[in-house]
Amino acid sequence: MNNEAVNIENLQFAYRDQPRQLFSDLNLQIEKGESFGIFGPNGAGKTTLMSIMTGLIEYTGGSVKLLGQEVKTKKKYFNKRFGFVPQDFSFYQELTPKENLEFFGSWAGLNTSTINKRIDELLDVLGLNDVRNKQVQKFSGGMKRRVNLAISVIHHPEVLFLDEPTVGVDVQTRFAIIDYLKNLNAAGMTLIYTSHQLHEAESLCRKIAMIDEGKIIVHDSLENLLSKHQQDGLEGLFLSLTGKSYRD
């Protein structure tokens, strides 16, 4: 039985308006049930790689398989097997959390009774029960982040992609979100995560890949990498591998 959540082989990709290839023969494997972190400086290609894995961007060459299915040729219904937490707030600000979950739940292919059950569970566990009927546009940044996350997991996906899920939130919300993600992972959900919050990444990810200028420069368990590069934290490892110069 195939145990790979993601299998990328010889990935080729270039943006239309850029002459240079962003990815050239990139290879990456992520196992099911893993809590996997992808890190790198700004412009390294983290978000692009996540967009390719979720099918938002079409790649030009190589193979990208998600749960054994080639992403380029997968049918739309296959999308119910994964979830995506985009960096931006990806919901309707005019609606309440309940209404957003009702709508996105239906688009994820759930029926009414499952949606209602999941809404109660998610709003409760993410501390949004008291504001379930208030318009999201009046929420704080932390509450919006939790709504963003709740929508992404309403259909209980096998793989969850998270693109900087805690950016701009306070410490309490960050801890709550990371705790919730750990619970999801413990229940068997594969997490593929990218962030600049390296301290939180240390507590969440067991395996990581560092990406720079479109290439994977290291890919191993966090423990092995720290030991191999004689670092005591992810931040030190990051700087030792990518340098201290600006990358904007």
Positions in the binding site for other proteins (CB under 8 A): 54-56, 58, 76-80, 82-84, 86-92, 94-95, 99, 102-109, 111-112, 135, 151-152
Q: b/e per residue, 89-103, with b = 16+ CB within 10 A?
A: bebeeebbbbbbbbe
Q: How far is the CB of 115 from other proteins (least distance, A)?
A: 9
The structure tokens listed for 159 are 């793989």
For 199, residues 6+ apart whose C-beta sits below 8 A from its C-beta are 233, 234, 235
Q: Are 162 and 178 in contact (CB under 8 A)?
A: no
Q: How far is the CB of 72 from other proteins (least distance, A)?
A: 13
Q: How far is the CB of 132 from other proteins (least distance, A)?
A: 15
Residue with smaller CB distance to other proteins, 63 or 87: 87
Residue with smaller CB distance to other proteins, 15 or 199: 15
For 83, residues 6+ apart whose C-beta sits below 8 A from its C-beta are 152, 153, 155, 157, 159, 160, 161
Where residue 163 falls (left for φ over 0; alpha for ψ -120 to 50; beta otherwise) is beta
Report CA-CA distances (Å) from 96 to 75, 133, 143, 183: 31, 5, 12, 25
Residue with smaller CB distance to other proteins, 80 or 156: 80
Q: How far is the CB of 184 from other proteins (least distance, A)?
A: 17
The secondary structure element, H or E, covering residue 228 is helix 222-228
Residue with smaller CB distance to other proteins, 14 or 56: 56
**Spatial distance between the Cα atoms of 146 and 198, rounded to a whole number of angstroms:** 20
Q: How far is the CB of 145 from other proteins (least distance, A)?
A: 12
For 84, residues 6+ apart whose C-beta sits below 8 A from its C-beta are 50, 54, 152, 160, 161, 163
Residue with smaller CB distance to other proteins, 53 or 211: 53
Q: How far is the CB of 163 from other proteins (least distance, A)?
A: 10
Residue with smaller CB distance to other proteins, 154 or 225: 154
Residue with smaller CB distance to other proteins, 156 or 219: 156
Task: Map residue 237 onto helix, strand or coil.
Answer: helix
Q: How far is the CB of 79 from other proteins (least distance, A)?
A: 4
